[in-house]
Structure 1
Amino acid sequence: MRDFVKGVGLFGRGVTILVRRPRLLLLGALPAVLTALLLLGGMIALVHWIDDLAMWVTPFADGWAAGLRTAVRVAAGVALVAAALVVGVIGFSALTLAIGGPFYETIAEKVEDDLGRPPAEAELSWWRMLWLGIRDGVLLVLRSLLFTVPLVVAGFIPVVGQTVVPVLLALVTAWFLVLELVAVPFYRRGMDLRQRRAALAKRRALALGLGLPASLLCTIPLAAIVVMPLAFAGGVLVAHEILRDE
């Protein structure tokens, strides 16, 4: 519990750092705006075609009674939108970091300079950072689906679906989000996704202390544009804490 509270505190400290440096906040918000526009377009398209998609994933209900068929397809539509929102939160961070690699590397450098960081072991070009961000982002989104899809389906179970499942879904989303938020400091030290995941697993509560408030705030429409750079600064602090132990 102490590590979780410390993670929340590091998120707050990241907020303080960027609020005091509005230029860095603006720098981090620019790629987030572009990503938000892209994902917003995707969500609008999803909502527009949701009826057709619900029919496509429930062909077995074609011959059912009208009332039951409609209920099943409404549930399928809700599940698709819920899954898209969860993947959107994780994918948002992945795509934002991929697009804004040089911007976030600058933020990471400034924050780590304040912490008295050691020199980075790996100097990465923008193209290399872009490739790593896209590759790891796709892997994390695919892995998150292994957890989120069953949880979304379990959300229709009475009682459990309205109590336990939302908590588990929030924790899963927070974990995959924080793996993205701490990426750049690990990249700068030549450490890949596997090493990043292993390092964070040793301080899982600390990681969730950052990821949970960040992921919950990102579900507020358009709030992610500001939350993303703030959470990233917190991610640099969490990464510094974990790498110090490593």
Structure 2
Amino acid sequence: MHDLGAGFGYLVKGQRWVARHGRQYGRSLLPGLITLVLYAAALICLALWGGDLVTWATPFADPWTSPWQGLFRGFLTAVLFALALLLAVLTFTAVTLLIGQPFYESLSERVDIAEDGHAPESGLPLWRDLWISAVDSVRVLIRAALWGLLLFALGFLPFVGQTVVPAVGFLVTGFFLTEELTAIALQRRGLDLRTRLTLLRSRRGLAWGFGTPLALAFLVPFVAVFLMPGAVAGATLLARDLDGPGEPRPDRADEARTGTPA
């Protein structure tokens, strides 16, 4: 329970930090706005033509009589949109971070410097940092998608699918949101994806306390855009709790020199 409260506390502290640094906050809004427009367009298209897609995918239901055909296809359309919304929440952070990597990297460094006057550096050129971030994001999204498919299947279970599964879904979403957001600060400290996941699994309460309220907030239109800069700042503070101010790992320094993963 202590870690749950601490995780939420880092989320609040991050919002307070960007509120005190208006210029940094304003610059960091741009990537979220771009991503929001792209996702909104995709969800609007799904809302308009999702029913047609379900009809095309279920030709076996054509001979069914009313109201069963309408109920069946209406249910599938609602489930399809709900799954798309869940995937949007899961992927929004990764896509926004990828688009806004230079902005959020600068913000994270400023938070570290404000804390103790020092910001760890990965020792890698920018293009390689971007490449590692993109590859790690894809790997995280694959994990999140597998969880999403499992929860989608369990959603058909009576009672459990309408109560337990949504709650577990938000916890899973919160965990992966925390991983994506802390990756900026932890990657600068030389931690690869496997190590970051191990750290977060050892402090699941911290990850859930930070990421789950954020996942719930991201369901409200436009909120994700305005919370993202503060979420990055808070995730940097949380990363310091997980790994400390730290220095880049020797293996990451070796990677910078050789150009190959350690």
If the length of structure 2 is used for normalisation, what is the TM-score? 0.87
Mapped to 1, the partners of 2:119 and 2:162 lie a distance apart of 48
Structure 1 segments (4+ residues) deviating >6 Å: none
Instruction: Give the 5 Å matches for 1:9-28.
Output: 9-28=9-28
Q: How does 1:7-156 map to 2 (within 5 A)?
A: 7-116=7-116, 119-156=119-156
Q: Please give the residue correspondences for 1:192-231 in structure 2 after superposition, counting only pairs within 5 Å.
A: 192-231=192-231
Q: Distance in 2 between matches of 1:131 and 1:167?
A: 34
Output aligned runs, 1:170-209, within 5 Å: 170-209=170-209
Q: Which moved more, 1:150-159 or 1:222-231?
A: 150-159
Structure 1 SS opposite 2:176: helix
DSSP-derived class of the 2:191 partner = coil
Percent of residue pairs bearing the same amino acid type: 39
Change (3 A) 1:142 1:52: farther
Distance between the aligned counterparts of 1:94 and 1:140, measured in 2?
9
Cα shift readout 1:35-64 (whole Å, capped 9, x = no counterpart): 111111111121122012212443443443
Q: 1:64/1:231 Cα in 2 relative to 1: closer, same or farther (>3 Å)? A: same
User: Do the aligned residues in 1 keep the contact of 2:120 with 2:245 (CA within 8 Å)?
Assistant: no
Q: Which residue of 2 aligns with 1:169?
A: 169
Asked if structure 1 preserves the Cα contact closer than 8 Å seen for 2:51 and 2:77, the reply is yes
Residue 239 of structure 1 deviates from its aligned partner by 0.8
Normalised to the residue count of structure 1, the TM-score between the two structures is 0.92
- 1:71 positional shift: 1.6
The residue identity in structure 2 corresponding to 1:236 is: T
C-alpha distance in structure 1 between counterparts of 2:236 and 2:245, whole Å? 14
Letter in 2 for 1:71: L
Distance 2:65 2:158 in 1: 23
Unaligned runs of 5+ in 2: 247-262
Please say which structure displays the higher CA radius of gyration.
2
| SS class of match (1:115) | helix
Moved more, 71-80 or 117-126: 117-126
Task: For 2:215, give the aligned amino acid.
Answer: S
Unpaired runs of at least 5, structure 1? none
Distance 1:238 1:171, change over 3 A: same
* C-alpha RMSD over aligned residues: 2.0
Q: 1:86-145, CA deviations, whole angstroms, 9 ceiling, x for partnerless residues?
A: 111121100111011110011110101122265524134443333233322222222212
Cα displacement (A) at 1:166:
1.6
CA deviations on 1:62-82 (whole Å, 9 max, x unpaired) are: 443342222221111111111
TM-aligned CA distance change 1:245 to 1:60, over 3 Å: farther
Hey, what's the Cα distance between the residues in 2 that align with 1:6 and 1:208?
10
